[in-house]
Structure 1
Amino acid sequence: MNEAEFRALVSGAKRGVGAALLRAGLRGLSFGYLAGISVRNRLFDWGLKSVHNAEVPVVSVGNITTGGTGKTPMVAFLVNWFREQGVTPAILSRGYRAVDGGANDEKLVLDQLCPGVLHLQDPDRVASAQKAVKEYQGQVLVLDDGFQHRRLGRSLDLV
């Protein structure tokens, strides 16, 4: 099943008994996912999972939905604004769908919109934050799609 077929299935555009059964199964799985995420978030809330604070401010640009909500253009705006203020920004992102350590499509877009700005892609945002500050002297870190990421402490959430 490709992405377009999946979207048609979950949106309800695809009709029929098979599609309805698949949607019901996905809905059941979503409750398990919700339970897991809720437990994880409570562990952070209660201090049982550690939040690592960077040495510099961290601005997270995120959302609870996927794709097409304007996160990447907002990251570009912020990064360019910080540069205009004389502050050295760095972009941190997970690198979702990057192939063999290469750049994903969001990094390619941000490289064009923010030439010369450090953009580290790593699922371990704590490690990339430390690297951005210590090795590249980043003065503010901008998390691209970082709303659900709880391990790295944030100074500001833009949702």
Structure 2
Amino acid sequence: MSFAQTIQNAWNRQAKWLILLRPLSWLYSAGFQINKRLYTLGLKKTYHAPVPIMVIGNITVGGSGKTPLLIGLVNYLQQKGVRVGVISRGYGAEGPFPALVAVNSLPDQVGDEPCLIVQSTHVPMAVGPDRQASIELLLSSYALDLIISDDGLQHWALARQIEWIVLDAHRGLGNQRMLPEGFLRESKKRLNTGTVIEHGLNPKTSLNMHLEPGQPYLLCPATETHEPFNANASFYAVVGIGFPQRFYNTLESLGIHNFQCHEFPDHHDYELTDIDFDDLNPVITTEKDAVKLLPLLKQYPEYPRQIWVVPVEAVMSDACYIRLEQQLAQLGVCFS
């Protein structure tokens, strides 16, 4: 098991040995505050884009449901006639940067989440660690009313007008400690400065969302197939996301109970050996992992094992849409 997986498991269990990392957390917190202060004082430059910027992020490490929420928002804004674009760091991608993302872009070039976002929405999107360069590339290619930043809540070099902070109600804030003792990127006080979207099935606030799973489909690089899905089969649950337990809970909700868990680090670069097992029982995985696995199937078209993909859709409360319309109206971005 990798160190990343070990510490992720320790965070989820709130293991007592994490207290040994507290001095590192103090150093991280001090460095974070100093860096933020430098931007506040104007000693570091902040970029102000010519169009409104909306950041969707979180204060925790690991999955919070941010990407499905972003996809849902983009689809909604497109339906309302808002010319929206998206930027992302393109974590784990090779570049070159900045780069526009197309429906046929490869995950190793632009990142797995950008591939999923564009394949799901066909939204104009640019990726790269330099957010300013990505925005300028996007605006040189498209006329846009709004740009959404996928993550980047702690990227103080980018000015923003709207912040949506996704908070997973199931994980919560763990031991409420900063990295690496806990999984907080910044203090929980940050939740007082943005629009908090509670992610959970039994929300306590009006601004909430949950993920609704769809019918699993067969990942096939060449042709469409309508082979029926058998929830009673024995699966290998292969997952490389920030919070794998959410995927296992999703499988259970779909009546899929017979599966072996095979976890990889978030944004894992899959190899064929990762999905080689002693039998030909099918693999079941997430859409985010599927964008990494599909190129492998294209390289090895004779691969005999079925790979099933579970799609999810973010279902937002009415209050989320009302808040979004209010925030955009204040910025002069109106729905048609």
TM-score range, shorter chain: 0.7 to 0.9
Contact 1:59–1:154 under 8 Å retained in 2? yes
Equivalent of 2:111, from 98, 104, 110?
A: 104
Q: Which runs of 5+ in 1 are unaligned?
A: none
2:69 to 65, 68, 74: 74
Q: How does 1:1-159 map to 2 (within 5 A)?
A: 2=2, 3-12=4-13, 20=17, 23-98=18-93, 100-101=94-95, 102-114=109-121, 116-159=122-165
- Aligned AA for 1:80? N
CA distance in 1, matches of 2:71, 2:146: 13
Partner of 2:290: none
2:255 paired residue number: none
Select between 86-95 and 133-142 the one with higher mean Cα deviation: 133-142
Query: Secondary structure in 1 aligned to 2:156?
Result: coil
Q: Is the 8 A contact 1:55 1:133 kept in 2?
A: no
SS at match of 2:110: coil
SS at match of 1:158: strand
Cα pair distance change 1:32/1:13, threshold 3 Å? closer
CA distance in 2, matches of 1:53, 1:84: 27
TM-superposition CA deviations, 1:41-98 (whole Å, max 9, x none): 1111222222111111111001101232121112112212221122221111111122
For the residue of structure 1 that corresponds to 2:160, the secondary structure is coil
User: Contact conserved, 1:133 with 1:139, CA < 8 A, in 2?
Assistant: no
More strand by share: 2
Where structure 2 has 5 or more consecutive residues not aligned to the other structure, the ranges are 96-108, 166-336
- Partner Cα distance (1:61, 1:4) in 2: 25
TM-score if structure 1 supplies the norm length? Answer: 0.84
Structure number with higher relative contact order (C-alpha < 8 Å, ≥ 6 residues apart): 1
Structure 1 distance, partners of 2:44, 2:5, is: 37
Identify if the C-alpha distance between structure 1 residues 77 and 10 changes in structure 2 by more than 3 Å, giving closer, same or farther.
Answer: closer
Q: Would the aligned equivalents of 1:126 and 1:152 in 2 still touch at CA under 8 Å?
A: yes
Q: Displacement, 1:33?
A: 1.1
Measure, in 1, the Cα distance between the counterparts of 2:135 and 2:52.
10
- The size of the alignment, in residue pairs, is 151
Distance 1:86 1:45, change over 3 A: same
Aligned partner of residue 137 in structure 1, secondary structure:
coil
CA separation in 1, counterparts of 2:138 and 2:74? Answer: 14
Cα gap change, 1:118 to 1:12, in 2 (>3 Å) = same
Residue identity in the other structure for 2:134: S
Structure showing the higher helix proportion among its residues: 1
Q: Partner of 2:36: helix, strand, or coil?
A: helix
Letter of the structure 2 residue corresponding to residue 124 of structure 1: D
